[in-house]
Amino acid sequence: MDEPVLVERGGGVHRLTLNRPDKINALNDAVFDALAAALDGAEADEGCRAVLLMGAGRGFCSGQDLTAGVPADLGEALERRYNPLVRRLRGLPLPVVCAVHGVAAGAGMNLALACDLVVAGRTARFTEAFVRIGLVPDAGGTWFLPRLAGDARARGLAMLGEAITGEQAAAWGLIWAAVEDGQEAAEGERLALQLAGLPTQAIALMKRAFGAAAGNTLDQQLDVERDAQREAGATPDFGEGVAAFREKRAPRFTGRRA
Ligand code: T3D
């Protein structure tokens, strides 16, 4: 049987590829289990300093598998599957890059938005498809959309369910960048390798700080930054960064905690 998520490791990067191409990588229990295991594996691997998420075949992800049977309680399904995955991606102390080609629909779109950096093909299609089947955006969509694109665009995307292109998604601030079609994986790889050479602990602390910022006042956030900077300042990479600056050479970051 084909693996629902392919994992390839090298160069400090774990590359996770959703692998149900005949259904545009629709999400089912097997995919959720495999993704959870792959993210655990990335965190447990001391050599892993960035994760790259992609989809096999002609699109990134079509959201929930609509042919897998409908749970009686969709709230329970979210609690069991989607919510832990989004929390895991946001809480993972590693940068996660997502490369979107073809379509990212429903929870597939929001799965991408839960990642740290998203690159997409110019004509990739992002759609909050939920309304077309009588559902509301989940997997963090109602939280990500207004923060990234503003309330007016969030409501339009959710209520109309119309697709926007990768180019539009970049122009609206939903994603990091749009690239030429066919270059998404290469650009995702480039970014992941770049991140894998950066101070991993500082990036993990940034993720924590950005995560806290949404619910904080400026005053509270200044305290978060103080604590994060204290931790970053105690890492070997801070010493290396300063030494490299003084010696006018490129830093050699290890990503180590101590
Ligand atoms: O249930 C819960 O737990 C609640 C959680 C819900 C979270 C959600 O994500 S709800 C939203 C679910 N997703 C959708 O509603 C999207 C459904 N799919 C589409 O609208 C379209 O297929 C796409 C816009 C994604 C792509 O359109 P297109 O024309 O490029 O491709 P296609 O021909 O429609 O699809 C290709 C194949 O993939 C096709 O199979 P076939 O006919 O060749 O055997 C199609 O059935 C299959 N496919 C596409 N999306 C899904 C899917 N199979 C299962 N589940 C899908 N979501």
Largest CA distance in the chain: 63
Q: Is the pLDDT of residue 115 over 80?
A: yes
Ligand 1 pocket test, pick from 18, 22, 62, 80 with the greatest ligand atom count within 8 Å of Cβ, gives: 62
Cα angle 32, 36, 53 (rounded to 5 degrees) comes to 85
pLDDT of residue 107: 98
Q: Is the pLDDT of residue 11 over 80?
A: yes
Q: CA 135 to CA 207: how far, in whole Å? A: 30
Average pLDDT over residues 44-49: 97
Residues with Cβ within 8 Å of residue 151, at least 6 apart in sequence: none
> Domains (ranges, CATH) in the chain?
5-196 (3.90.226.10), 200-247 (1.10.12.10)
From the number of C-beta atoms within 10 Å of its C-beta (0-12, 13-18, 19+), residue 203 rates as buried
Q: How do residues 155-200 score in pLDDT, each as one tens digit? A: 999 999 999 999 999 999 999 999 999 999 999 999 999 999 999 9
The DSSP letter of residue 174 is S
Coil, strand or helix at 51: strand
Binned at pLDDT 50, 70 and 90, residue 68 comes out as confident
Is the Cα torsion angle 145, 148, 154, 160 positive or negative in sign? negative
What is the 57 CA–ligand 1 centroid distance (Å)? Answer: 14
Q: How do residues 156-167 score in pLDDT, each as one tens digit? A: 999 999 999 999
Find the residues whose C-beta lies inside 6 A of ligand 1: 23-24, 26, 62-67, 70-71, 74, 77, 103, 105-107, 129-130, 132-133, 135, 138
Place of tokens 């990500």: 144
Average pLDDT over residues 137-147: 98
Q: How do residues 219-231 score in pLDDT, each as one tens digit? A: 999 999 999 999 9
Q: Is the pLDDT of residue 1 over 90?
A: no
Question: Which among 165, 145, 172, 140 has a CA at the least distance from the CA of 157?
Answer: 145
Average pLDDT over residues 104-119: 98
Average pLDDT over residues 240-251: 98
Ligand 1 pocket test, pick from 24, 101, 109 with the greatest ligand atom count within 8 Å of Cβ, gives: 24
